[in-house]
Structure formats: C-alpha cells, structure tokens
Amino acid sequence: MPIVRQKKIEVLFSAEQIAARNRELAELIALSDLRNILVISILKGSFVFAADLIRALHGAGLAPEVEFISISSYGAGTEAGEVRLLRDVDTDVAGRDVLLIDDILESGNTLKYTRDLMLSRGARKVGIAVLLDKSMKRKADLTADYTGFECPDQFVVGYGMDVAHAFRELPFVGVVTGDA
Ligand code: IMP
Ligand code: MG
C-alpha cells in the first residue's frame, strides 16, 4: 500500500485503469454529436483529469479548445448546497458545444450550477464528463454524459483531488486509511 506524507493510502483506481478509461471516454465523446468542443475544466479538482482527457481527445481525433472556471460549493453534502463563481471563463460560450469536466459528481450542485450558467449564456449544447460519480449522494436532478467510474461512498484523494490541500499530486485515486 503506498505511503505518502506519513499516511497509508489504499489505491481505488490505478493510473493504468484511469488511463485506459480516459481513452474509452474520449472515443465515446468523439462519437457524440458535440462539435468544435469547448472544454471547460472546473477548478481545482479536475485539472489533472482534464489534462489527461484532452490528450485522449486528441488521440480520438478531436481538437478541443480549453477553458477553466473556478467554482466553490459550500456544504456540498447539505440541502443548502450554495455554489459560488470564483473565476469565470474568458470565452464567449454562445452557440458553442461545451464539455464540462469535473473530478467528482456528488450532490450535483456544482455541475448543475455550471451547466445552467452556460445554457443561460446561450451555449448550444452542454455535455458533462466526470471521472467519478458518487450517485448515492445526488441531490440535484443531473446525470453525467460521460463517467469514468462509479465511486464508493468514501472520501477520495489523488489525481487532482485533495484533502486539506494535500495529495493532489498522486497519479492514482485512493483513500487515506490511516497513519503509516
Ligand atoms: P457536488 O456539488 O456535491 O457534486 O460536489 C462535487 C465536488 O465536491 C467535486 O468537484 C469535488 O471538488 C468535491 N468532492 C466531493 N467528494 C470528494 C472526495 O471524496 N474527495 C475530494 N473532493 C470531493
Ligand atoms: Mg470540485
């Protein structure tokens, strides 16, 4: 079991599993009706997944534009689920086919807010790609179009995801199980 920062980490999804799944997702996206895709990576958690998925999209013959948006959600697990826009995209999305990329779809508040924002700005289509789906935690009425893996109801880290700003650098997705 990997040990990082004096903690034991159980690997849930290995770098190899993720890379293989990214190639499959890219092939599915290439077969979709999304055209001249504008990728919007939801920061911070999705930056590693987005970086790999856009390169897999290149492998599948696509040439997406790439944008970033920063969203914070307070009390993601609560009914309130307040979502705030911290940093907006620079690109006009009117008439565009947008692919939102996030690390985890949990309550759905973050992605519902972001999707509705892009639709209100006149995006032609908004697709959603997430690495992990905690479907048992859903509150908003929302499903992803492209999901890497169904995620167990555990707090995961790595591959861009953090706990208290740590572990984003891990090349795999794992769960902190205790002290080393
Ligand atoms: P939602 O608005 O409840 O769907 O929130 C999803 C967001 O919560 C994701 O983009 C992550 O940033 C964060 N999140 C949810 N579960 C985890 C986890 O297990 N580890 C790290 N971040 C998480
Ligand atoms: Mg996030």
What is the pLDDT averaged over residues 134-162?
97
31 CA → ligand 2 middle, Å: 27
> Is 60 exceeded by the pLDDT of residue 79?
no
- ∠ CA 37-94-31, nearest 5°, is 25
Task: Tell me which of 3.40.50.2020, 3.30.70.260, 3.40.50.620, 2.40.400.10 is the CATH number of domain 17-151.
Answer: 3.40.50.2020
* Residue 101: Cβ within 10 Å count: 26
Under DSSP, is residue 106 helix (H, G, I), strand (E, B) or coil?
coil
Q: Ligand 1: does its nearest atom lie under 6 Å from the Cβ of 144?
A: no
Specify the ligand 1 atom closest to the Cα of 134. Answer: 16
Q: What percentage of the chain carries pLDDT values higher than 70?
A: 97
Position 119 scores a pLDDT of 98
CA 22 to centroid of chain Cα atoms: 12
> How far apart, in whole angstroms, are the C-alpha atoms of residue 169 and residue 171?
6
What is the pLDDT averaged over residues 99-125?
97
Q: Ligand nearest 115 Cα, by number?
A: 1
DSSP for 13-82?
E-HHHHHHHHHHHHHHHHTSS--S-EEEEEETTTHHHHHHHHHHHHHTT---EEEEEEEEEESTTSSS-E
pTM score, whole prediction: 0.95
- What's the mean pLDDT when you consider all of the chain? 95
Closest CA to 92 of 38, 146, 137: 38
Specify the ligand 1 atom closest to the Cα of 103. Answer: 10
| pLDDT per position as a tens digit, 115-129 | 999 999 999 999 999
12 CA → ligand 1 middle, Å: 16
Question: 66 with 158: CB under 8 angstroms?
Answer: no
Q: Ligand nearest 109 Cα, by number?
A: 1
Position 123 scores a pLDDT of 98
Position 76 scores a pLDDT of 53
> Is 70 exceeded by the pLDDT of residue 88?
yes
Tell me which of 13, 103, 131, 163 to substitute to probe ligand 1's pocket, judged by most ligand atoms within 8 Å of the beta carbon.
Answer: 103
> How far apart, in whole angstroms, are the C-alpha atoms of residue 87 and residue 30?
29
Position 33 scores a pLDDT of 97
Q: For residue 31, give every residue at least 6 positions away whose Cβ sits within 8 Å of its Cβ, in sequence order, or none.
A: none
> Is 90 exceeded by the pLDDT of residue 78?
no
Delimit the domains of the chain by residue range.
17-151
Q: For residue 132, give every residue at least 6 positions away whose Cβ sits within 8 Å of its Cβ, in sequence order, or none.
A: 103, 104, 105, 147, 148, 149, 150, 151, 156, 173
Structure-derived torsion over alpha carbons of residues 26, 28, 33, 39, reported in degrees to the nearest 10: -30
Q: Ligand 1: does its nearest atom lie under 6 Å from the Cβ of 45?
A: yes
Question: 174 with 154: CB under 8 angstroms?
Answer: no
